[in-house]
Amino acid sequence: MSDVARPRLSQAAGLPALAAAAARSLGGVVIGGGLGAAAWLVVMQDGYQRGFFGRRWSDQDFASALGKLAGASQGIIRQRGFYVTLVVVAAVMVLYGVVAHVLASRLPQRWQLHALGLGAFVFLLWGLVFSPIVSAREPSEKGGVFGIDAGGTTWLVALLASMAFAVVAVRIYRLMTDEGWWIPGRRKIEASATLEAMGVGDAEKDALTSLELAEELREKP
């Protein structure tokens, strides 16, 4: 085989793997981001609508404020805010995926630490970008830096929402982008290999075989 043909064959063989990796990443962005967005909105809106211990923790109606920023009119303001939230979350998840891939050798691999970092980023994005813009462009909506104009505990609601979003989104994204997670019986194979390495795999198999033979003998007349 010529030296020119080898790289072409290698590239052709790598295309299915690249397509599969892209599909896993897309699934992680869509499903992880979608469920993460739902977690964010539940916490933010419950904090506004007296959802925690019967108390109102925030005066910022996040969905309404975002809908107005997106140019929504009466009747569809919160719906528009929900749709824009999904778009923003998708962009955040794509950015996270790129950073996690490019800096894979430098970042810690534990998903909990990734969630902590992403949660901090989302919280800062809300407190330093979204809330100040809301108070500047929409006088009817409360915002300010870290939601200072929307009550003293608004920042706490946003922090909890950021962590809820990050935990859900990162965990699902990491699972879906893990190639081994899609292999049927992976954990069973790994457990068997571990038992064999410990020298108990054969003993366990022999014990199960003995029990099966004993059961067959009992069933015979």
Tokens of 136: 């500047």
Whether pLDDT at 100 is above 70: yes
How far, in Å, CA of 23 to CA of 81, rounded?
28
How far, in Å, CA of 73 to CA of 54, rounded?
30
Location of structure tokens 């009817």: 140
Tokens of 192: 């068997």
How far, in Å, CA of 59 to CA of 47, rounded?
8
What is the per-residue pLDDT for 196? 64
CA angle 153–154–157, rounded 5-degree value:
95
Q: What is the DSSP letter of 46?
A: H
| Residue positions counted in the chain | 221
How far, in Å, CA of 130 to CA of 168, rounded?
22
The per-residue pLDDT for range 156-200, each reduced to its tens digit, is: 999 999 999 999 999 999 988 887 767 765 555 555 655 566 665
C-beta of residue 58 within 8 angstroms of C-beta of residue 13: no
How far, in Å, CA of 72 to CA of 63, rounded?
11
**pTM of the full predicted structure?**
0.74
What is the per-residue pLDDT for 200? 57
Residue 56, sorted as left (phi over 0), alpha (psi -120 to 50) or beta, turns out to be beta
What is the per-residue pLDDT for 32? 93
